[in-house]
Amino acid sequence: MYYKKLFTVFWVIFFCSVAMAQNNFKGIVSAAENDMPLTGVTISVANKPVAISDSAGVFQFNDNNDKVNISFSYIGYITYSGYYTTAQKIEVSLNPYTSFLSTATVKAFERNTTIKNIPVTVTVLGKADLERYGNVSLVQAVNTVPGVKMDERSPGSYRLSIRGNLLRSPFGVRNVKVYWNGIPFTDASGNTYLNLLAFNNIGKIEVIKGPGGSLYGSGTGGVLLLSGRTADKNENSISVNSLGGSWGLFETDVAYRKGSENANYSLSYGHLQSDGWRTHTNMRRDVVNYSGSFKINNREIINTNIFYGDLYYQTPGGLTAKQMNTNPRQARPAGGPFKSAEAQQAAIYNKTFYIGFSHSYQFTDEWSNTTSIYTSGTRFSNPSILNYQIKAEQGIGGRSITQYHKNNLAILFGGEYQYGFISSRTFGNNSGVPDTLQFDDQIGATQYNIFLQADISLPANFIINAGLSYNNYGYDFTRFNSYPVKEINKTYDPVLIPRISLLKKIGKNYRVYATVSEGYSPPTIDEIVPSTGVFNPFLKAEQGINYEIGFRGEPIPHILFVNAAIYYFNLNNTIVVRRNAAGSDYFVNTGKTDQRGIELSANYYPVKNSIYFLQELKLWANYTYINANFVTYQQGINNYAGNKLTGTSPNVFVGGADAITKIGLYANLTYSYTDQIPLNDANTFFATQYNLFFARLGYKKDFSKKLQGEIYFSYDKSFNTPYGLGNDLNAAGNRFFNPSAPENFIVGIQFKFNL
């Protein structure tokens, strides 16, 4: 009997010990951007912290189960969760939040450092910033940047201005230099077909405000550095996204992305179509993009970017105030001798192929070089109310930068060359069919710049950054249907563009900087030869100088970030658009303009990477004040000196809140206010102020290690109707207004399959 009891107790103890056996989990956590170990990462299971990573990024803990869902959270990095077993070797790389002041890395002026140490005004939009809205357009996200305004006069028709420089853009993106993955995307003539890019082609945007000519050549409006959407480390996936919304909106895209130790590449296709809110605003876009980065060895990297875009959108034309108030959804009606936009089938057709390569080589620990080349071809057609233009454009170019880094000194030098050739024919437009030949032109554009830049770290926590570039620009123009045929050459005087910046580090969390920079911007081809068809060799290049001081700080480290910038920009030979009685564009130099501004932003993270239900909460606000005026501007008997700068809103406020929960529910809320905008140089017409509200609600779920999904709903509404996201400046017949839809909704779904 005694032995039976002893035997029973033994087996009870044995089974209890087996049931209570602990499974050991062990792994390492590192930062995705540099593979360095992360110390102090919180490791949680079932919302309970179980371990903290050590100085080597290593962690370990025990659990009753042999398979658990582990969460990794760290200030400044995106929380990651995944299922792991004791048999697995756990290696986790956390991706930083690009919106964090202390962790965001920027490439502006080739500094490749954290944003807080850049001695110029730069704003970074990362993947999370871009995806706060409907995943259709970049417009809403870009318009959150202080001092930046992106217009959409109709679906697919974009304009971009930085600090009020919109006067030269009746359509398209001008006077802003754009690079895509470090390779010029703005062509030799100064135009940028930004509307060709699909939303999912872009993973990050850096906005450099103020003249960047000391390193980036021509342009007084600023610089845009676009980065493609790349694969995460060790990613091997296929993603499928589809959405539908108001006014016949439909989009779908498919992408394959793979990231490994020596390669990172993606292949994507996207299709977008919309009927539009207004009459005659149908649009369609198809985009194929391949991008890759390949590490040849420890010293050599090759990058590729191949792109084909096929874009079509109808152009409804501007309305008078009376027409807009009567029926804001109508296209421009017939008037006088001119047919309506619908009757003339006014539209844009653009097919562009672009291919770029770059090669980076690290010669020694101190010396390196990156050289890139590109070529592009465009077939462009534009039936308009007045005529029918058909263009064939070819472009080539390259950029080379050699850098030296040692201790407290960094020097870079190099150059950029671009050439563009355009064959343009303009016909009469007979209801959307080319008619009698009006102009038969060939235009060549050449520009190059040579630059030098130095960074020196000085005692007392000062950093000085200075640059200088030599710029040359010219056109060749030949009209073959005008006799005798002769070539006209227009070469602009070479100019030197300097910039000097000084940054002072105040403790660990504060920076103050001051910048003086010059800008130089010759006319684009569409300004030299506008829709009037008259070649204008007398149009001068804009030149200006910008004075700026700025402040960045973290009053509460990793929790509260503030930015402030104050600038004064004086511009000479300001180019403005005007229109003749028929509505054709032409451009003139006005004299001088003064642009003064204040840009403020604050980001507050009261909850960050929490293990509780509300994981993250971000509150943010941006404010822009611009006081821009004509200083000297005489047009015939009219003196516009002292008038407000056309197309520039004096006050813009944007604020929002972003929340993420443990179960995958999230919300992005945004409110924006835009003050009234002068629509003509005489300041006799203004666009009314408007208030917008945006909301995106969604749910993300990891179904397994192989499948992640997301569903979301996006909604935006204007509290002022009618209103417009883009207006025609100095419009003939007072047709200034391009009304926008008062509200829109989108429903989208995304799946990611890990292979």
Q: Which residues contact 297 (CB under 8 A, 6 or more apart)?
A: none
Asked if residues 736 and 707 have their Cβ atoms less than 8 Å apart, the reply is no
Residues 606/619, Cβ–Cβ less than 8 Å: yes
The whole-angstrom distance between residue 282's C-alpha and the CA centroid of its chain comes to 24
Alpha-carbon distance 313 to 155, whole Å? 7
- Structural domains of the chain, ranges and CATH numbers in brackets: 22-94 (2.60.40.1120), 105-332+341-754 (2.40.170.20)
CB 60, CB 51: distance < 8 Å:
yes
- pLDDT at position 232 is 83
- Whether omega for the bond prior to residue 494 falls within 30 degrees of 0, making it cis, is no
pLDDT at site 12: 47
Cα 249 versus chain centre, distance = 22
Distance CA 422, CA 443 (A): 5
> What is the identity of the amino acid at 378?
T
Decide: 277 and 740 in contact? Cβ < 8 Å. yes
Helix (H) or strand (E) holding 168: none
For 151, 192, 725, the CA distances from 160, given in Å and listed in that order, are 6, 10, 11
pLDDT of residue 261: 85
d(CA 61, CA 708): 27
Whether 203 contacts 259, CB under 8 Å: no
Tens digit of pLDDT for each residue in 385-435? 989 999 999 999 999 999 999 888 999 999 999 999 999 999 999 999 999
Number of H helices, E strands in the chain: 6, 46
Q: How far apart are CA 601 and CA 621, in angstroms?
A: 6
574/218 Cα distance (integer angstroms)? 14
Between the alpha carbon of residue 680 and those of residues 524, 648, 731, 734, the distances in Å are: 21, 11, 8, 9
Q: What is the dihedral of CA 33, 551, 208, 197, to 10 degrees?
A: 60
Report CA Rg, the chain.
28
Q: Which two tokens stand for residue 625?
A: 């004040």
What is the per-residue pLDDT for 582? 59
Q: Cis omega before residue 722 (within 30°)? A: yes
In our burial notation (b when 16+ CB lie closer than 10 A, e otherwise), range 586-624 reads bbbbbbbbebbbebbbbbbbeebbbbeeebbbbbbbbbb
By DSSP bridging, strand 173-174 and strand 191-192 are antiparallel
**What is the maximal distance between C-alpha atoms in the chain?**
126
Alpha helix stretches (DSSP H) within 178-326: 213-216, 321-326
Query: What is the value of pTM for the model shown?
Result: 0.88
User: DSSP alpha helices (H): ranges in 217-355?
Assistant: 321-326
Tens of pLDDT along 713-755? Answer: 999 999 988 999 989 888 888 999 999 999 999 999 999 999 8
Measured CA to CA, the distance from residue 100 to residue 129 in angstroms comes to: 11
CA distance to 274, 543, 596, per residue, from 628 (Å): 36, 16, 6
**Residue 722 to residue 739: CA distance in whole angstroms:** 6
Task: List residues bridging with 476 in a β-sheet.
Answer: 444, 489
Which pLDDT does position 698 carry in this prediction?
96
Cα separation, 442 vs 436, in Å, equals: 18
In whole angstroms, what is the distance from residue 548 CA to residue 204 CA? 25
One-letter amino acid identity for 371? T
What residue ranges of the chain have pLDDT lower than 50? Answer: 1-3, 7, 9-20, 98-99
Kindly report the backbone phi and psi dihedral angles of residue 151, in degrees, each rounded to the nearest multiple of 5, phi listed first: -100, 150
